[in-house]
């Protein structure tokens, strides 16, 4: 991971970071002022009531002596009251600036996490489909959940601790050096020992954290698979097996996580112990300097010196803790940055939703060809198209198909023959391997993705509905659609009647994935969504597979009417739904084996007639 990843996230908030640093400085300054006053408070409380002029020592000692000598001139009782008021003001100002610094860093952290989540979501939408074929869903989800939490706690919180600790320690050390150089050099000689011990404790912490985060991502995957496949688990009585697999992996994850936190948590008490050791050394060495009349170190200043050093122990402890947390959190930062640097789909301009919803009124929505395109070009042309998901395993081989405007092409064949792959390539979910796909004479690779996909409506076999109202799901591609347009699309998809029977009609929430509807109802909502877009090319990938026979016939009659003047590609296992197609292409192992109308193919007595006979049987 490049070390400036977090700095790039903080860059937009540079002014707030500077303001945060200023507030920390002021908070520490007033804390030191409070500590430096304690010795003189003791002198006022237990002294003779007369000031003793200090002619030697540093300016701090002389200035404080003059101030409190002046206070004593008002009398011991009045001096105590005045001193208490000064301490109250100093401590109050310290708390005010401490609070202001906390507010500033809270805003910075919240905004950085907000920005990162926005970037992650934007990246997730713009990644190619091939990325999700190679990676587990739980691993992607972990970037949004546990990785973000760990990044905020391990990196952002630690940077806050680090900045506060560094500023505080620099100010405290500067004041300690000013009070007494010998005693402070003694302290500085001890700090490398503390740093060495803490670095040994934090050794290999980043690598351990990376393993823990990857294991956590796999646990999320197991949970997601179990919930998504709960029916299968119950049907195959595999509850015990699933439980055992999860518990074993969770046990190993917990063990590694415990060992990692044992290292992290050891840093704080060890640094605390070493700090107390240094305090004892300061008391012994400082007392020796006072007893031997070290110039500038009075008994009162020595007490203030010890108090300042004690105040420096918490930021020193925070410094060691922050380094350990940052090492642990860098593994999450690596994973987040790695995801953000994944290559996006080329040619994406804006969102498909925006492009579909906003039309230029001066341009006909269904122009038969792109500007400058000869009118005799087919609507869709596949030229010597070959494709492989994995090298060496060809899914499509030398496919050549022309789809004239206003006609319906049907793709049939057994599972795995490449039908859905052609639909995916048309939408550029995957880059073409060899050959070309032309949309109205224009290579789709030269078109912006948003433009291409705004011209294509897709009804997939696996229907996906969102946890929103019926109307919102139908208008998903066109948020500006009127209620009348939504209703007309639902009627065209034979969905209007059952929608009206729902509790709130078109305003009924469908639940997660449309779980409140039957499979056939979900499919009809999906078809209505595609019809509302009024696309130039409509792709129906097993669009009627979830419907019963009666509804399938009703919907098929509707689709026949809807597709009359539209270019469509229909992928079907139920051959009865594509009898009226203008052209039927039979695929087998990624190759075209037959092509023609239903009557022509039946007359051949080849692969198509075999499939019809099998379904009839």
Is the Cα torsion angle 595, 597, 602, 604 positive or negative in sign? negative
Q: What is the mean pLDDT of residues 408-420?
A: 87
- Reported confidence tier of residue 593, pLDDT bands at 50, 70, 90: very high
The reported pLDDT for the residue numbered 115 is 92
User: In the block, which residue shows the tokens 């237990």?
Assistant: 46
In a domain, 411, yes or no: no
Residue 37: name the closest of 66, 62, 68 by CA.
Answer: 68
Helix (H) or strand (E) holding 356: helix 352-357
The reported pLDDT for the residue numbered 149 is 83
In a domain, 112, yes or no: yes
Q: What is the mean pLDDT of residues 164-187?
A: 84
**Residues paired with 408 in a beta bridge:** 568
Residues ≥6 apart with Cβ < 8 Å to 213? 142, 146, 147, 150, 331, 332, 335
Q: What is the largest CA-CA distance in the chain?
A: 124
Least reliable range by pLDDT among 39-48, 332-341, 466-475, 593-602: 39-48
In a domain, 280, yes or no: yes
Domain range for 257: 5-340
Q: Considering only CA atoms, give the Rg of the chain.
A: 37
With H, G, I as helix, E, B as strand and everything else as coil, classify residue 588: strand
The reported pLDDT for the residue numbered 235 is 65
Alpha-carbon gap, residue 32 to 497, rounded angstroms: 77
In a domain, 363, yes or no: no
DSSP state of 345: P
Counted domains in the chain: 1
**Domain holding 56: CATH number?**
1.20.1560.10
Q: What is the mean pLDDT of residues 593-605?
A: 90
Q: In what order do the strands lie in the sheet with 591-596?
A: 456-459, 537-541, 567-571, 408-412, 583-588, 591-596
- Reported confidence tier of residue 97, pLDDT bands at 50, 70, 90: very high
- Please check the confidence at residue 182 and state whether its pLDDT lies above 90: no
In a domain, 466, yes or no: no
**Token pair for 24:** 């920390």
- Please check the confidence at residue 64 and state whether its pLDDT lies above 70: no
The 10 Å Cβ neighbour count of residue 502 is 17
The reported pLDDT for the residue numbered 525 is 86
The reported pLDDT for the residue numbered 48 is 45
Average pLDDT, the chain: 78
- pLDDT above 70 covers what percent of the chain? 79
User: In the block, which residue shows the tokens 């301009």?
Assistant: 349
The 10 Å Cβ neighbour count of residue 317 is 22
The 10 Å Cβ neighbour count of residue 160 is 21
DSSP string, 176-195: HHHH-HHHHHHHHHHHHHHH
- Reported confidence tier of residue 22, pLDDT bands at 50, 70, 90: very high
In a domain, 226, yes or no: yes
In tens, the pLDDT along 211-258 reads 777 787 778 777 777 776 776 676 666 778 788 888 888 888 888 888
CB 286 within 8 A of CB 306: yes
DSSP state of 343: P
In tens, the pLDDT along 284-343 reads 777 777 777 665 566 767 777 788 888 887 887 777 778 777 877 787 888 888 889 888
The reported pLDDT for the residue numbered 24 is 92
The reported pLDDT for the residue numbered 213 is 73
- Please check the confidence at residue 461 and state whether its pLDDT lies above 50: yes
In a domain, 564, yes or no: no
With H, G, I as helix, E, B as strand and everything else as coil, classify residue 395: strand
The reported pLDDT for the residue numbered 26 is 92
- Please check the confidence at residue 23 and state whether its pLDDT lies above 90: yes
In a domain, 530, yes or no: no
- Please check the confidence at residue 54 and state whether its pLDDT lies above 80: no
- Please check the confidence at residue 430 and state whether its pLDDT lies above 70: yes
The reported pLDDT for the residue numbered 356 is 36
CB 321 within 8 A of CB 314: no
Q: What is the mean pLDDT of residues 437-465?
A: 82
Report how far Cα 148 is from the mean position of its chain's Cα atoms: 7
In tens, the pLDDT along 286-302 reads 777 777 766 556 676 77
In tens, the pLDDT along 119-163 reads 988 888 888 888 888 887 778 888 888 888 888 887 888 888 888
DSSP state of 536: S
**Token pair for 570:** 């229909």
In tens, the pLDDT along 495-554 reads 888 899 888 899 988 877 777 787 778 888 888 888 888 888 888 887 666 566 666 676
Residue 451: name the closest of 466, 439, 462 by CA.
Answer: 439
The 10 Å Cβ neighbour count of residue 265 is 13
- Please check the confidence at residue 19 and state whether its pLDDT lies above 90: yes
The reported pLDDT for the residue numbered 586 is 92
**Token pair for 225:** 């698979």
Alpha-carbon gap, residue 172 to 153, rounded angstroms: 27
Alpha-carbon gap, residue 351 to 344, rounded angstroms: 13
- Reported confidence tier of residue 566, pLDDT bands at 50, 70, 90: confident
Q: What is the mean pLDDT of residues 438-457?
A: 84
The 10 Å Cβ neighbour count of residue 282 is 21
């Amino acid at each position: 991971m490049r070390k400036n990843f977090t700095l790039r996230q903080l860059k937009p908030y540079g002014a707030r970071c500077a303001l945060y640093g200023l507030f920390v400085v002021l908070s520490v300054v007033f804390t030191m002022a409070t500590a430096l006053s304690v010795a003189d408070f003791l002198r006022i409380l237990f002294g003779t009531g007369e000031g003793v002029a200090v002619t030697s020592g540093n300016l701090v000692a002389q200035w404080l002596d003059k101030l409190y000598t002046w206070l004593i001139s008002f009398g011991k009782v009045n001096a105590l009251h005045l001193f208490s008021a000064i301490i109250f003001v100093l401590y109050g100002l310290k708390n005010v600036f401490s609070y202001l610094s906390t507010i500033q860093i809270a805003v910075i952290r919240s905004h950085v996490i907000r920005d990162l989540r926005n970037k992650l979501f934007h990246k997730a939408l713009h990644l190619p489909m091939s990325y999700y074929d190679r990676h587990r869903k739980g691993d992607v989800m972990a970037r949004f959940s546990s990785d973000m939490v760990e990044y905020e706690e391990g990196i952002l919180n630690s940077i806050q601790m680090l900045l506060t600790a560094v500023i505080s320690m620099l100010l405290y050390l500067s004041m300690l050096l000013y009070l007494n150089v010998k005693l402070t050099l003694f302290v500085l000689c001890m700090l490398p020992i503390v740093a060495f011990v803490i670095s040994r404790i934090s050794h290999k912490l980043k690598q351990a954290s990376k393993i823990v985060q990857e294991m956590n991502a796999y646990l999320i995957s197991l949970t997601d698979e179990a919930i998504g496949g709960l029916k299968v688990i119950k049907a195959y009585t595999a509850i015990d097996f699933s439980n055992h697999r999860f518990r074993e992996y969770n046990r190993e994850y917990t063990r590694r996580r415990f060992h990692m936190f044992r290292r992290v948590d050891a840093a704080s008490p060890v640094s605390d112990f070493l700090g107390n050791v240094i305090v004892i050394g300061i008391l012994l060495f400082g007392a020796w300097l006072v007893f031997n009349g070290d110039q500038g170190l009075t008994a009162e200043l020595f007490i203030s010196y010890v108090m300042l050093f004690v105040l420096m122990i918490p930021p020193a402890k925070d410094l060691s803790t922050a380094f350990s947390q940052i090492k642990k959190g860098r593994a999450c930062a690596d994973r987040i940055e790695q995801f953000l640097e994944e290559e996006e789909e080329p040619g994406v301009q804006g969102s498909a939703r925006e492009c579909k919803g906003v039309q230029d009124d001066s341009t006909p929505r269904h122009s038969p060809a792109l500007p400058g395109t000869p009118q005799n070009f087919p609507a869709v042309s596949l030229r010597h198209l070959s494709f492989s998901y994995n090298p060496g395993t060809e899914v499509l081989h030398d496919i050549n198909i022309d789809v004239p405007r206003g006609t319906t092409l049907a793709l049939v064949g057994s599972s795995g023959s490449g039908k859905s792959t052609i639909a995916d390539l048309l939408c550029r979910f995957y880059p073409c391997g060899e050959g070309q796909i032309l949309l109205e004479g224009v290579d789709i690779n030269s078109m912006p993705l948003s433009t291409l996909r705004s011209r294509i409506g897709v009804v997939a076999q696996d229907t996906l509905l969102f946890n929103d109202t019926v109307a919102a799901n139908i208008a998903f591609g066109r948020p500006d659609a009127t209620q009348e347009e939504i209703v007309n699309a639902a009627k065209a998809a034979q969905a209007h009647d059952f929608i009206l029977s729902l509790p709130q009609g078109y305003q009924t929430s469908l639940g997660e994935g449309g779980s409140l509807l039957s499979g056939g109802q979900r499919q009809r909502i999906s078809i209505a969504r595609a019809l509302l877009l009024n696309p130039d090319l409509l792709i129906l990938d097993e669009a009627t597979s979830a419907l019963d026979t009666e509804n399938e016939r009703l919907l098929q009659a509707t689709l026949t009417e809807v597709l009359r003047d539209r270019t469509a590609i229909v992928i079907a296992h139920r051959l009865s739904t594509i009898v009226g197609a203008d052209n039927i292409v039979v695929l087998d192992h990624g190759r075209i084996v037959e092509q023609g109308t239903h009557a022509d193919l039946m007359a051949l007595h080849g692969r198509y007639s075999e499939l019809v006979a099998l379904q009839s049987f």
